Amino acid sequence: MSDTNSPKSTAPIDEIPRGRFPGAMKFFRHDIVSGFLVFLIALPLCLAISVTSGYPPIAGIFTAIIGAILTTFVSNSELTIKGPAAGLIVIALGCINDFGGAGNPDAYRAALAVGVAAAVLQILCGMFRAGILGEFFPISAVHGMLAAIGVIIIIKQIPYALGVIGAKGDPLTMVQHIPQYILDANPAIAAIGVASLLIMFLWPTIGRKLGPLKLIPAPMIVLLVAVPMGMGFDLLHVHSYFLQGHEYQLSDQYLVDMPDRVFGMFDKVTYPEFSALGQLKAWKWVLMFFIIGSLESLLSAKAVDLLDPWKRRTNMDRDIIAVGLGNLCASFVGGLPMISEIVRSKANIDNGARTRFADMWHGIFLLLCVAMIPTVLHQIPLAALAAMLVYTGFRLAHPTEFIDVYHIGKEQLAIFVTTLVVVLATDLLIGVAAGIVLKMIIHVSNGVPLRSLFKPYLEVEDVNADTSMIIARQSAVFSNWIPFRRQIEDIGLVQRRNLIIDLSDTQLVDHSVMGKLEEMERDFQQEGLTFEVRGLDTLQPLAENAQAARKRGLAAIRRVTVMANHSLKYWLLDEFVKCGVTGYTVTTCTGAGRRNIEIDSVAENEHIRIEVIAPVAVCNDVIDFLRRDILADHHVTACVETVDVVRVGHFAAVEEVSVNGSHH
């Protein structure tokens, strides 16, 4: 994934208006420049996503234009870009195939009807403030689903990148056929695909060293190379060529199908076939579009809020209404489903956008381009678009995703991998359900009472005039988080009170809730309120990561025992405290060491025994000090042992630790 640094060019926070339609003219220059640069990214990606989804290429453009222009005036999300996304390719293609396959007009119109029904559900979801339902899904299962989508995209695009026409099948079957795809590759088309793929992977590194050229996004560089290659191979005309004794065919079937005249895009408007909704299978796809599309959109909008240099917050219910309205209009004219898209939104921020009008400008540029120069777009090779999506899929299923999840906890990796494998073997809904079920099984095995899986047990106390405390009992896990969150919002953000969350009496706080508590901490900070989490030090993390799940139990910690001459007492104690020791026990004693016994077996000397209990890091600092400054010049003995304690916080430098691992 791309990095998450804020843009270099930022304005003071009080310069950014926060009204209903902020800054259309005041920030015109910033927004139109960002809109143009995002347009350069969006144009090839919209075409690629649409073709791969089994829709006509123009469908993705319809969606991006409608999403950009309509949602600008509905959502209050200032920096998100609305449009088609790679994460929905698997659902869109599955729906098209279920109704007859790509290229079948009836299947296309049936899919549009499915899109309309899903859009209506999204609008109702936002109107009834059900956007919070996105909070239910465990983070590891969601990441596993996205990784599976990435793997499927890569598998599906390999034949297109090699010029193999008509490759079909489920992902696991197509993986087995990859060697055959390589043998059947059309060399000219494969050259375009491989060159495009190399550009997608190498340009982010090379471009940074080329001054102003770094502003040109990799997808546009791909087009600047791939289109001339296609012209060189004369893909507009049917012909054949020979290479090493084999004959290969070339034609415009390897190019994007676009209108052949100015304003011809309006001839491509297609209307839904609502009779398809009378079939039971249609509602499976309605639910998948609704659930997965809404979930991805909410997650993207949240991620963009975190990246917003001016820390503006999106109303998630309002945003899902905007996405629903956009999907409704797009599906009525032949467009793909849309979401708040994270990659283009991140580019929007990096390019210096100030307000939501940057999204609108990117849509206007798309409209002008497709309406005025469709014949130029027709010369884009499909292999180049396939390469862009292979790169997108790789980023979704990047190896670091597996490593990051493993560091959070082995149980999280199990959920992640289970979701990924089941999605590949079946479909998205079953895969996500499998991840959720596995997570619940793990929770129960970790001692979470069945009665608290879906219902949080909370007590509320007023600490003072402006501060309340919520005491959680039994568990704080993903499946009971929604009512927990509503309680936090009602008391804290609605009643404008500072909040303390006490988790010391829970059996388990899972990884999802750890992450969501950190989000709540940021929300409270933006509202000028304090949000403190207590009791995490009474629970033991299942991994070293700050957001790892925490379970009730004894914690392993170190005990250091030092025997030394009485004259070293205050020096040792002073240095131990500097190392982070929070307490110690000193005992005066007599005894003899090996050297004393060798001289006189009954001689005894006065010594001190210092005992400290400390976390591993503090213990290591103490031992380093002894080795560096003491043991070489003084007769001192030291031993270290592991002991179990009830509460780690009693031996930490401060009493409480925040949800992100920093100390209060």
Written in H, E and C, the secondary structure of 92-146 is HHHHHHHCCCCCCHHHHHHHHHHHHHHHHHHHHHHHCCCHHHHHCCCHHHHHHHH
| Residue 610 bridge partners (DSSP) | 562, 586
Q: 3-state DSSP call for residue 79? A: coil
Looking at residue 15, what is its pLDDT?
58
Which structure tokens are listed for 32?
Answer: 């139109």
Are 566 and 532 contacting, i.e. CB atoms less than 8 angstroms apart? no
Looking at residue 649, what is its pLDDT?
67
Contacts of 346 (CB under 8 A, 6+ apart): 2, 4, 304, 307
Summarised one tens digit per residue, pLDDT across range 531-557 is 999 988 888 888 888 889 999 887 778
Short-list 386, 369, 387, CA closest to 378:
369
Summarised one tens digit per residue, pLDDT across range 312-331 is 888 889 999 999 999 999 99
Helix (H) or strand (E) holding 639: strand 637-645
Looking at residue 632, what is its pLDDT?
84
CA distances to 139, 422, 549, 646 from 443, rounded to whole Å, are 15, 20, 10, 21
Which CATH entry fits the domain spanning 450-551: 3.40.50.300, 3.30.1330.40, 1.10.10.10, 3.30.750.24?
3.30.750.24
Ordered DSSP codes for 617-638: HHHHHHHHHIIIIITTTS--EE
Looking at residue 199, what is its pLDDT?
96
Amino acid of residue 573: L
Contacts of 648 (CB under 8 A, 6+ apart): 537, 538, 540, 555, 557, 615
What's the CA gap between 81 and 78, in Å, rounded?
A: 9
Summarised one tens digit per residue, pLDDT across range 594-626 is 776 776 655 567 789 999 998 888 899 999 999
Are 8 and 318 contacting, i.e. CB atoms less than 8 angstroms apart? no
Ordered DSSP codes for 556-621: EEEEEEEEEEGGGHHHHHHHHHHHT----EEEEEEE--HHHHHH-TT--EEEEEEEEEE-HHHHHH
For 248, phi then psi, to 5°, come to -125, 145
Looking at residue 159, what is its pLDDT?
96
For CA atoms 581, 582, 587, 588, give the dihedral sign. positive
Which residue stretches of the chain have pLDDT < 50?
1-14, 655-658, 660-664
For domain 554-645, the CATH architecture is: 2-Layer Sandwich (3.30)
For CA atoms 396, 142, 414, 93, give the dihedral sign. negative
What's the CA gap between 424 and 416, in Å, rounded?
A: 13
What's the CA gap between 244 and 253, in Å, rounded?
A: 23
Q: Determine how β-strand 467-476 pairs with β-strand 498-509.
A: parallel
What's the CA gap between 305 and 303, in Å, rounded?
A: 5
Looking at residue 601, what is its pLDDT?
57
Contacts of 622 (CB under 8 A, 6+ apart): 560, 576, 579, 581, 612, 614
What's the CA gap between 499 and 489, in Å, rounded?
A: 10
Looking at residue 429, what is its pLDDT?
86
Helix (H) or strand (E) holding 61: helix 57-71
Contacts of 511 (CB under 8 A, 6+ apart): 138, 139, 140, 408, 409, 412, 547, 548, 549
Q: 3-state DSSP call for residue 359? A: helix
For CA atoms 551, 553, 554, 556, give the dihedral sign. negative
